Structure 1
Amino acid sequence: MSRVRAAVVGGGIIGVAVARQLTRSLGNVDVTVFEKEDELAAHQTGHNSGVVHAGLYYEPGSLKARLCRRGVELLQEFTAGKGVGYEECGKVVVAHNASELGRLEAIHRRAIANGVPDVRMINADELAAVEPHARGLAALHSPRTAIVDYRAVTNALAGDVTDAGGTVALGVAVTGIEERGPEIRVASTSGTEVYDLVITCAGLQSDRLAHASGDPANPRIVPFFGDYYLLRPEKRGLVKGLIYPVPDPRYPFLGVHLTKRIDGAIMVGPNAFLAAGREAYRRAQVSPGDLGEVLGFPGFWRFAAGNLPTAARETRLVVNSRAFVEEARKYVPELQAGDVTRGPRGIRAQAMTRDGSLVDDFVITGTNRLVHVRNAPSPGATSSMAIAEHIVSEAMDRASLS
């Protein structure tokens, strides 16, 4: 049997997991991963909080719920086998009033239905036992929620790809993809090569790459940045694990929370605000082209018009560090403005439709031999290996490969 020539565009955790899954699902495959940066996990994967989500929030039976639970199992097994640090530090979702308590109880019911292990409702005294410096009316405790270094996971996944004979091409940007009959021509900064199957997992650039190869322009990626602060080392004892708010249906984003990182640091944040560039990680960095594209997109203005309270809240958090800390003090009252320092910034690739709706589900488009992952929503990193199983299975079905 002739060998299948496959390419994956994008060296984030999902792209590399897809490449690994191809080597496991197709024994006769030669896989190449294209990544335009000089390292893997350079964008969303390497700028997230490192949380391994247990599956508390998702509609029972939904694809997101199933992939999350499957993804956690695969991630636990993989990190144990590779010696990558994985810590079940636990998570509390804290309610402060009766309206939040009702929403929290609904999350508890979902978590139980999704099979989240050992999750339970706890009262204020029990919350103090789990997180001595946290305060609230009640909380949902998920002791098996974990943290991990997703950069390390991505590099370990890449090791499996190369061990299976695959290639990871760093510093090689894909400039065009063209389908010609049964073959896909991939043009890059290193030349043009021909493949039988191409899967794009381009994250912040996913819509552009898909559109350039003949896909519809929408949904569009609108980048939102999230800034974090870090607790000073002497204040890390204020937080043992993860302290989260109850999601507020008035806002499209979760809001400020406190997160332990695998290296022991404690992150406070993030906020959520329109980024001045898809890869503008420095606070003064602006990409006029990226920003102009967003401002010329009708969907963004429809989203903004429908979320004025969100804009007011997030603007306050962006310009006022004391307001940022004040949000966190709702959960840890001992926290003071002087207890934090500026931390990292992440950028979220938010898929948005022309009517201003945020896309919160998977969007996989393309043709039989060219598959575009246009949106792989949170918890994408947690679910990465399960998402890879799903994507590769669909791609194989489309291309009639076995």
Structure 2
Amino acid sequence: MARYVVVGGGIVGLATAWRLLIDRPGSDVTVVEKEERVGAHQTGHNSGVIHAGVYYKPGSLKARLCAAGSASMVEFCREHGIPVDICGKLIVATSGEELGRLGALHERALANGLPVSLLEPEEAAEYEPHVECVRALRVASTGITDFGRVCEVLAELIGELGGHVRLGTKVVSVSTTVGGVVVGTDRGEFAADVLVNCAGLHSDRVAKLAGLRPPARIVPFRGEYYELREDRRDLVRGLIYPVPDPQFPFLGVHLTKMIDGSVHAGPNAVLALAREGYSWGRIRPVDVASAAGYGGLWRLARKHWRYGAGEVRRSLSKRLFAASLARLVPEVGAEDIVRAGAGVRAQAISPDGTLVDDFLIVEAERQVHVLNAPSPAATSSLEIAREIVARIPAAG
């Protein structure tokens, strides 16, 4: 009987464990998660968007797994009674300067086989009456769901198939043996034939414990959200996004209808002072030292310090945050939004200061490490799991 230990109880780790149990019945599969609940970090703090795959380079892992993942996630949610709404979204150009980038997105979306269409302002108003634009890209297959609930269902399914989800179990060591891997935790050891590292914000550290030299380091970026006051939710029917800057993996501040009917605004992107730094007041010296001592971050900062400074200003100013939203929906003012928490993105940065754009999966003997899985990882999670399992020899 093959034994697998999956580190990380977010949506990618849980999906991988579930896929292992389906594809390799009779296997011993254990998920170890340091928090007391599943989906506690990136999965539980995102906007719940099921992405269609507009933004990703054709042929990349993101493009391939997002397109397939969008379909399989919708199917999974419907099969298991998880609320899902294929509401579509608009990506809006608010000035003539953005039309070239919007056109390039249109071409990329078509290359990825997506149902998209370019709209004139009066056509965009049929979907979003309060939006202001010079042109918009309509992405019909974008949806929303509750990824936290997806994690809960996956954990239940793992248990039903004979697997185990060990909560409150922190990995402290990884050692290799003649026949496999031993994962040491603060609640004992777990022997495995194969280790699968889906530790998200701590994935590079788990890789180091396992003896690897990761090709990139995780640097945490906090994304802060506001939400529209309940009496202003009628300003947004679905999802409204700006045209993104292709230099960055961040999509810009946008307006997102959530599955519970609320409308979230954000996120921005500021360097977090802890890997789980959901506020400016959350500072962890070891995480600050790790980031500050990494040459890749300094090289990135030298290239893009103006962008970073702008994000910090928007973080500290509700007025500036609202002004960014007003570019999309002019009727939104600072008085219309209230704070709504934050998420932290585990962004891998290469030593040369390049943001790792694609999913990054690294293999070693009896080990698979997911070292970069930001958005659209939740959308793609069921397909990322297939990809991981396909890379593990059947014999374990």
Give the alignment's TM-score, normalised by structure 1. Answer: 0.96
2:273–2:280 contact (8 Å) kept in structure 1: no
Structure 2 counterpart of 1:69 = 67
**Deviation of the 1:316 alpha carbon:** 1.5
Q: Determine helix, strand or coil for the equivalent of 2:174.
A: strand
Structure 2 counterpart of 1:288 = 285
Residues 16-48 of structure 1, C-alpha deviation per residue, up to 9 Å, x if partnerless? 000001011112301111010000000000011
Structure 1 counterpart of 2:7 = 9
AA aligned to 1:100 is E
Q: Does 1:109 align with 2:107?
A: yes
Q: Determine helix, strand or coil for the equivalent of 2:92.
A: strand
1:40 to 38, 41, 46: 38
**Deviation of the 1:237 alpha carbon:** 0.4
- Give the distance between the partners of 1:295 and 1:356, measured in 2 at CA: 13
Gaps of 5+ in 2: none
- Give the distance between the partners of 2:368 and 2:43, measured in 1 at CA: 21
- Give the distance between the partners of 2:50 and 2:58, measured in 1 at CA: 18
Q: Determine helix, strand or coil for the equivalent of 1:395.
A: coil
Counterparts of residues 208-357 of structure 1 (less than 5 Å): 208-249=205-246, 251-357=248-354
Q: Determine helix, strand or coil for the equivalent of 1:6.
A: strand
Residues 352-375 of structure 1, C-alpha deviation per residue, up to 9 Å, x if partnerless? 111111111232224231211111
Q: Does 1:158 align with 2:152?
A: no
2:137 to 117, 137, 140: 140
- Give the distance between the partners of 2:211 and 2:353, measured in 1 at CA: 23
1:47–1:346 contact (8 Å) kept in structure 2: yes
- Give the distance between the partners of 2:328 and 2:242, measured in 1 at CA: 8
**Deviation of the 1:250 alpha carbon:** 5.1
**Deviation of the 1:215 alpha carbon:** 0.6
- Give the distance between the partners of 1:351 and 1:251, measured in 2 at CA: 12
1:85 to 72, 75, 83: 83
Q: Determine helix, strand or coil for the equivalent of 1:284.
A: coil
Q: Does 1:190 align with 2:187?
A: yes
Residues 23-76 of structure 1, C-alpha deviation per residue, up to 9 Å, x if partnerless? 111123011110100000000000111100011111223221111111011111
Instruction: Please list every run of at least 4 consecutive aligned residues from structure 1 whose deviation after the TM superposition is greater than 4 angstroms.
Output: none
- Give the distance between the partners of 1:6 and 1:227, measured in 2 at CA: 36
AA aligned to 1:373 is V
2:395 to 380, 387, 401: 401
1:215–1:366 contact (8 Å) kept in structure 2: no
- Give the distance between the partners of 1:251 and 1:308, measured in 2 at CA: 12
1:182–1:369 contact (8 Å) kept in structure 2: no
AA aligned to 1:275 is A
AA aligned to 2:170 is A
- Give the distance between the partners of 1:193 and 1:40, measured in 2 at CA: 19
**Deviation of the 1:292 alpha carbon:** 1.4
- Give the distance between the partners of 1:219 and 1:104, measured in 2 at CA: 30
1:199–1:372 contact (8 Å) kept in structure 2: yes
State the identity %.
47
Q: Determine helix, strand or coil for the equivalent of 1:11.
A: coil
**Deviation of the 1:217 alpha carbon:** 4.5
Q: Determine helix, strand or coil for the equivalent of 1:345.
A: strand
Residues 363-402 of structure 1, C-alpha deviation per residue, up to 9 Å, x if partnerless? 2224231211111242100000000000110123xxx538
**Deviation of the 1:92 alpha carbon:** 0.1
Structure 2 counterpart of 1:391 = 388
1:368–1:395 contact (8 Å) kept in structure 2: no
1:174 to 134, 159, 171: 171
- Give the distance between the partners of 2:217 and 2:321, measured in 1 at CA: 29
- Give the distance between the partners of 1:319 and 1:376, measured in 2 at CA: 28
**Deviation of the 1:249 alpha carbon:** 3.4
Judged with a 3 Å threshold, the aligned counterparts in structure 2 of structure 1 residues 249 and 193 are, in CA distance, closer, same or farther, namely closer
Gaps of 5+ in 1: none
AA aligned to 1:238 is L
AA aligned to 1:325 is A
Residues 5-26 of structure 1, C-alpha deviation per residue, up to 9 Å, x if partnerless? 1110100000000000101111
AA aligned to 1:215 is L
Judged with a 3 Å threshold, the aligned counterparts in structure 2 of structure 1 residues 272 and 122 are, in CA distance, closer, same or farther, namely same
- Give the distance between the partners of 1:217 and 1:373, measured in 2 at CA: 10
Structure 2 counterpart of 1:98 = 96
2:51–2:379 contact (8 Å) kept in structure 1: yes
Residues 74-97 of structure 1, C-alpha deviation per residue, up to 9 Å, x if partnerless? 111111110000001110000122
1:54 to 49, 52, 55: 52
Judged with a 3 Å threshold, the aligned counterparts in structure 2 of structure 1 residues 200 and 54 are, in CA distance, closer, same or farther, namely same
Q: Determine helix, strand or coil for the equivalent of 1:381.
A: helix
Q: Determine helix, strand or coil for the equivalent of 2:227.
A: strand
1:12–1:43 contact (8 Å) kept in structure 2: yes
1:184–1:194 contact (8 Å) kept in structure 2: yes
Deviates most, 289-298 or 37-46: 289-298
